[in-house]
Amino acid sequence: MLAVTATLLLIGAASLVIGLQDHRHPLAGPVPQRSGTAVRAAPASVPSGTVPAHAAVARSVPVAVRIPALGLAVWLTELGLNADGTVAVPTSVQVPGWFSPGPSPGQIGSAVILGHVDSSKGPGVFFGLRTLQPGDPIEVNLADGVIATFRVTSVVQYQKTAFPDQKVYGSNGSSALQLVTCGGAFDPQTGHYLSNIVVYSSFVSAT
């Protein structure tokens, strides 16, 4: 079994949450009109001897995520649904969470990891998400020892009122990973951002 990288940081859950709070992600419904500008995708090559991009790995809980371009390596929590059917958000600004009712990273479908952009105390774990570029790798450590690697295909900003739930959470028949945080204009009256940043990535390999 492969060990989770020793650089992972385990941060407490006492920070004030404002980043993703108040955003609803229902699992079903029509796909809203897409807003914002997508970064053009760069082709991702699949290294020889690895699982091809259309294949899925066995379901396993993701325990950590590493994004080299951001210098980020952090443990993951699990997120479910609130009583009203909306997606729960992480309780800590510094610890992102995997949406566990959906696929695990590497399975067919869209795995989703949510993290906060900031709080009144400073930047959150996904503060730099908007700076990722097509081709940047994302590595997810799974509980069974597998490391699933993805490549960023696009980074898109959506108004929260036009968030494309089906595009982010739905399946297109391949293995994908979406990272979600807040962004855009900040409304000081409500204490929330008006938009979301979504990083789309596709499966490359499992080791």
Q: What does the pLDDT read at residue 56?
A: 72
CATH number of 62-206: 2.40.260.10
Q: Name the strand (E) or helix (H) holding 196.
A: strand 192-206
> 186: which strand partners?
193
Spans in the chain with pLDDT lower than 70: 1-55
Q: What does the pLDDT read at residue 55?
A: 54
Residue type, 88: A
CA dihedral 46, 36, 64, 147 (to 10 degrees): -10
Helices vs. strands in the chain: H and E counts, helices first: 1, 11
Q: What does the pLDDT read at residue 172?
A: 86
